[in-house]
Chain A
Amino acid sequence: MQRKRNMEKGKTIILHRSGTADGGRVENDDPEAHVGEGLVPEENDASFYGVIARLQGHQIPAPTERDIGIAVEEAIRAVRKRDAAVQARAPFWNRTAELLRVSFRYADWTTMVYSLMIYASAYYAVSLGATTVPSYILLFALSPVPTLLGIRGFIRSRLNGLEELELSCKISLPQMQAVKLFLYSVFNFALNTGFALMLLRTDSELSLQRMFLYWCVPFLFSSAGGLAVAVYSKSVYSYYALCGAWVAAMLCIVSTPGMAERVLELGTRVYGLTSAGLFLVMIVLSAAAFGRKGRIRVESQH
């Protein structure tokens, strides 16, 4: 330690900050040396030199080989334990990735385009003032449409032989339906949010928070109902019944004088609680669908 030796000799030392990675310091024996910008002012105080030198002279015990060996063993054991946990989780993530891949491959993209067109038409009608339906009700009525259309797509594909797919891979039909419904729900969520924001642009008196609550209930209703129909009922008539119920309810709201106002005046707490309840139902249905293995299981041919 050159620095320490110099300190002990009582030399004037000016410490520089070199800017190197290890904070290397340049020692200078010239007492007249200019104290410039690159110095370390915290150390360039002669009164501290003695303290620093004494501290540097302080010794501590060295760890024994045995203690180092224990640390190595424990570290290796910790790594093995972590690797074992990762390997145990791997099948779950592999299966989920496979599910998503298959779902994307078999998703009905044309249905999504139809949904987009319906929303665009509705927005066009609102922006031209061609509709007398309040914006909140319009959003309320349209919000489950993408999911309902999506469900129609995969009920139809099931009828057109989606079961064949089940024969060729590890994924069961209910599992794939659940994941596909999740994809449609994400798309529906994005579409509703976008539509609400567009409506906000046309009418600044609308509240984004209220709009969110109004579209959440039907959206979750359609998702939960769709999931139940697609996974449990397996009947296309159940699907038509679900859609029919929604259309009838909407017609009733729009055509009955004062009904729209009453629906809108239900209060945020009612909407919030209903949304939360529907969300829970959906979670339970999804979990149950994920746990179902399907009727036919054959090892992957891919």
Chain B
Amino acid sequence: MLDDKQLIEEFRKGSESAIELLIKRHYDKVFAYIYRSTWDYHIACDLSQTVFERTVTGLGGYRSERGAFLSWLLTIAVNTCRNYFRSSAFRTTRRQVALDETMSADFNVVSLLERKEEQAIIRNALQELPALQREVIILRIYHELAFKEIAEVTGSGESTVKSRYRQGLSKLKKRLERSERDAAQEEHGERENNHFA
């Protein structure tokens, strides 16, 4: 099986199937990053498409000595997301996304509801994070990049990235704890209401 470097060479020689293989190999990762940044399936698809268009048209400028292809791809994804958040499209049409599509079929109704709730809590907690901290958290936790790589991808210093990561985790921890407290209080209130009724 050809690795990324060989596929890029093939692409430079004019092979269109090399583009297809490269995209199919990395689409999930790019999509996952963008989805976790935008929380909209359709926007994530559109932006992933933009990322791959930019990638393949700029592939001539890619040098493997500078880093892994995936890191380069994620750099483009990070910049594309940043551009999107700055765009008027994002400011005018912030969409709320249903979580139904995130569910898998192997849960019973109760666990499905619990899981749905947990997903919503995490999504909201991540959404509330400042963009720069969210970038680092996503790249570290979901893409398992080293801090050095994250620094390269986001164009920041390694110590800045570490600091953002720690601050982000602290905020997430507080928000998740607060959500749990709120949920517990809500449940307690409902029980009391039922008891008095």
Contact = CB atoms under 8 A, between A and B. Distances in A.
Interface stretch (A71-79, A208-216, A259-267, A276-284): A71-79
B172 interface: yes
A74 B165 CA distance: 35
Contacts of B103: 59
A81 B20 CA distance: 17
A54 B117 CA distance: 12
Contacts of A59: 102-104, 119
A48 interface: yes
B123 A68 contact: no
A17 B146 contact: yes
B23 A60 contact: no
A51 interface: yes
Contacts of B176: 51, 54
Given A17-B146, A23-B147, A71 B52 contact: yes
A75 B119 contact: no
Interface string A1-26: 00000000000000001001111000
Interface stretch (B1-9, B26-34, B75-83, B187-195): B26-34
B137 A71 contact: no
Most buried by B among A20, A48, A75: A75
On chain B, which size bracket covers the interface? Answer: 35 or more
B31 A72 contact: no
A40 interface: yes
B57 A48 contact: no
A23 B20 contact: no
Contact of B48 (A20, A71, A76): A71
Contacts of A21: 68, 146, 149
A68 B23 contact: yes
A75 B28 contact: no
Contact of A76 (B20, B31, B41): B20
A130 interface: no
Interface residues of A, number: 34
Contacts of A257: none
Given A23-B144, A56-B142, A76-B20, 7 more contacts: A20-B146, A21-B149, A42-B165, A52-B141, A62-B28, A76-B16, A78-B57
Interface in B99-132: 101-104, 118-119, 122-123, 126
Contacts of B23: 68, 71-72, 75
B116 to A, nearest CB: 11
A72 B27 CA distance: 10
B16 A60 contact: no
Contacts of A72: 19-20, 23-24, 52
Given A61-B41, A71-B23, A71-B48, A79 B102 contact: no
A27 B144 CA distance: 15
A59 B31 CA distance: 13
A55 B118 contact: no
A20 B148 CA distance: 10
B141 A71 contact: no
14 contacts: A17-B146, A40-B147, A41-B162, A56-B142, A58-B122, A58-B126, A61-B35, A61-B41, A63-B48, A70-B49, A71-B23, A72-B52, A75-B52, A76-B19
Contacts of B137: 55
Nearest to B174: A51
B27 A71 contact: yes
A54 B147 contact: no
Interface string B44-64: 110011001101110000000
A55 B122 contact: yes
A299 B16 CA distance: 35
Interface string A31-45: 000000000111000
A127 to B, nearest CB: 49
A52 B54 CA distance: 32
A21 to B, nearest CB: 7
A82 B11 CA distance: 14
Contacts of B104: 59
Contact of B118 (A48, A52, A57): A57
B95 to A, nearest CB: 15
